[in-house]
Structure 1
Amino acid sequence: MTTAVKKGNTFFYKGCNYFKQRLVLSVLSGKPVRITDIRSMEDDPGLREFEISLVRLLDKITNGTIVELNETGTALYFQPGLLFGGTVEHECCIQRGLGYYLEALFMLGFFCKQPLNVTLRGVTTNNIDPSVDLIKTSMIQTLKRFVLDDEGLELKIKKRGMLPLGGGEVIFKCPIRSKLRPVQLLDSGMVKRIRGTAYALRVSPAMANRMVEKAKGVLLNFLPDIYISVDQCKGKQSGKSPGFGVHLYAETTQGVIYSSEQVSKVVSNGEEPAIPEDLGTAAAQRLLYEIYLGGVVDSSCQALAILNMALGPKDVSKIVLGPLTEYSIGFLRHIREFFGVTFKIEHFQEEEREGTGAGKVLLTCVGIGYSNISKRTI
């Protein structure tokens, strides 16, 4: 991880790591970034298509953004404009899932001038990015904790789309808020129920039922309240490629949500075709592992919670997380560079009871009192 060199108001970075984090924080802080040596030593140097697609999306929701790219695509200068929002349609690159783009929108949505109404098209589920189902359950729940009124915050899945051709479509709506609220989230509660969705696109509907059966077989050893629905997508709603997958989430007595998911492989890559039973079992075991890791947000939503704490009012916010992911650690460093917010990280001592899972960390910070400069205060 290279630390930033700051000249004037501009941050200088090298390499393609944490590309999305840097651009999102650049937009929020209004500080330009210059990134050089992007994959300069590789056979195919420069920005990938999905990264260019992200830059285009950020350009669409801002006014006056200046982007300069050199001929080989190995150096980028990004000077952010004002966050405007509004109604946007975007054709996402199918190299990455819609979750890659949605995460950036979730971080920026509350601070736009006009409420966001974004239609994204592309791949709804893959093996790298959080799927739209996970975002709909975990991320929206995480975001709701930081505002008093979450009316109008929703994600609709219109069509599902698998690799390699995609064809999925989602609509994300986000209201504007002038500021966030401080949080003290220390208790994750006990798991009370498990829900989920299995879907089979352009393959036999029996695939979904086979996944459900296996996942339930694992989870019923721990909890009786389990319901996994089957999403039968027909015709255009099932995208352009065959595939199947399952998304599970556990809800606790404190409203915390843990998610897991599994998706079939792309057979055209020459890999062994996925077996529905294996996916169901793997998703259930991954969910149990996510519950074991614990914390008051899912491991995929840690960065979102960290950002909203740092941007919150000038008050102390505390949150308990499971073991920090590499992505979250990089995010903490970037928050310090862009906003000067340093988090206090300490081991969280839970009351002594059996089976509290992995070691937890307690993050404490004082927010910077970031307010939406575009929203007129009444």
Structure 2
Amino acid sequence: MGKITYKKLKGSQNMRQRLLLATLKSTPILIEVIHADDTLPGLRPHEISLLHLFEKLTDDCVVEINETGTKLKYKPGIIVGGSNLVHDCGVSRAIGYFLEPLILLGFFARKTLAIILTGITNDSKDPSVDTFRSTTFPMLKHFGVPSEGLKLEIKSRGVSPHGGGEVHLTIPTVQHLRATMWTDEGMVKRIRGEAFTTRVSPQLGNEMIYAARGIFNRLLPDVYIASDYRKRLEAGSGNSPGYGISLVAETTSGCCISADTTVSYGEKQKILKARTRKS
């Protein structure tokens, strides 16, 4: 076996894109100076978790990290996919952080991908799992991805800081993707959405729906926002209290425009502590 030639990169920017493209192109990469100037240098917990996820989906993948975590050697393997896979995404980033590269890897796997992801389903930093289900999946049809077998089920909702969410993802394999010229955004014809609460009063969800409808009904009548209220742990409420809403506007050209937001009590406490320190 000959010597492996690594493509050299520097910095921590675009870490997901670098790992994803290296895997799809079977190109070994060497990344140096990863968060080297930070107070805590080296790979972050969510970046290490992403590497573990790539290892689960591929065969013969090799990952080498130096002692300080500032240098990474990544030799991608063959994308296998498979079923009955489970991955804990942790609580430093939401599940949406992992879904973006995971979906693309699943398309080019040898087998249909079926995986359970646990962690934070909704937060203010990453796209929510609702956005992937209501916006990303419908838009993928324009690129030749069949809707049959493409599925995302939310078994449990989890918000920061302690997560506790669980989603079941199924991604079919595709032979090729279709190039699409899509420049016409179109006019909004309907708005759909879902408000959720976990371990808090469902009244908060009702108030969000009422306020959102009060704004959107001034523009168009076709507005429907569903509710997903989970108060008890056995009902899939996760480990932290919080609430939020996810909205998607469907246009006449088949475009989907999404927006979502989440409020968790852990985040509120962090903001209050930061303000107290400043004062």
Same fold (TM over 0.5): yes
Residue 30 of structure 2 corresponds to residue 31 of structure 1: no
Find the counterpart in structure 2 of residue 375 from structure 1: none
Superposed CA deviations along residues 3-26 of structure 1, whole A, max 9, x for unmatched, are xxxxx8522111111000000000
Q: After superposition, where does 1:3-18 map in structure 2 within 5 Å?
A: 9-18=5-14
Residues in 2 aligned to 1:177 and 1:270: alpha-carbon distance in whole angstroms: 44
Q: Secondary structure at the match of 1:53?
A: helix
Find the counterpart in structure 1 of residue 130 from structure 2: 133
Residue 233 of structure 2 corresponds to residue 232 of structure 1: no
Residues in 2 aligned to 1:27 and 1:148: alpha-carbon distance in whole angstroms: 20
Q: CA deviation at 1:234?
A: 3.8
Residues in 1 aligned to 2:80 and 2:40: alpha-carbon distance in whole angstroms: 34
Q: Bigger shift: 154-163 or 262-271?
A: 262-271
Q: Secondary structure at the match of 2:39?
A: coil
Q: CA deviation at 1:118?
A: 1.0
Q: TM-score, normalised by structure 2?
A: 0.91
Residues in 2 aligned to 1:86 and 1:96: alpha-carbon distance in whole angstroms: 24
Question: Is the contact between residue 160 and residue 240 of structure 2 (CA under 8 Å) also seen in structure 1?
Answer: yes
Superposed CA deviations along residues 45-92 of structure 1, whole A, max 9, x for unmatched, are 100101000000000000000100000000000000000000210011
Find the counterpart in structure 1 of residue 45 from structure 2: 49
In structure 1, stretches of 5+ residues that fail to align are 1-7, 273-378
Question: Is the contact between residue 121 and residue 163 of structure 2 (CA under 8 Å) also seen in structure 1?
Answer: yes
Residue 264 of structure 2 corresponds to residue 267 of structure 1: no
Opposite residue 188 of structure 1, the aligned amino acid is E
Residue 77 of structure 2 corresponds to residue 77 of structure 1: no
Q: Secondary structure at the match of 1:267?
A: helix
User: CA RMSD for the aligned pairs?
Assistant: 1.6
Find the counterpart in structure 2 of residue 352 from structure 1: none
Q: CA deviation at 1:268?
A: 3.0
Find the counterpart in structure 2 of residue 177 from structure 1: 174
Residues in 1 aligned to 2:227 and 2:95: alpha-carbon distance in whole angstroms: 21
Residue 251 of structure 2 corresponds to residue 255 of structure 1: no
Q: CA deviation at 1:185?
A: 2.0
Q: CA deviation at 1:101?
A: 0.5
Q: TM-score, normalised by structure 1?
A: 0.68
Moved over 3 A (4+): none
Q: CA deviation at 1:267?
A: 2.8
Q: CA deviation at 1:134?
A: 0.6
Count residues with an aligned counterpart: 266
Q: Describe the shift of the 1:270–1:254 C-alpha distance in structure 2 as closer, same or farther (beyond 3 A).
A: closer
Q: Describe the shift of the 1:45–1:60 C-alpha distance in structure 2 as closer, same or farther (beyond 3 A).
A: same
Residues in 2 aligned to 1:123 and 1:141: alpha-carbon distance in whole angstroms: 23
Opposite residue 56 of structure 2, the aligned amino acid is K
Opposite residue 118 of structure 1, the aligned amino acid is I
Q: CA deviation at 1:148?
A: 5.6
Residue 168 of structure 2 corresponds to residue 167 of structure 1: no
In structure 2, stretches of 5+ residues that fail to align are 274-279
Q: CA deviation at 1:41?
A: 1.6
Q: Secondary structure at the match of 1:156?
A: strand
Residue 186 of structure 2 corresponds to residue 189 of structure 1: yes
Q: CA deviation at 1:251?
A: 0.6
Find the counterpart in structure 2 of residue 214 from structure 1: 211
Q: Secondary structure at the match of 1:46?
A: coil
Q: CA deviation at 1:180?
A: 1.5
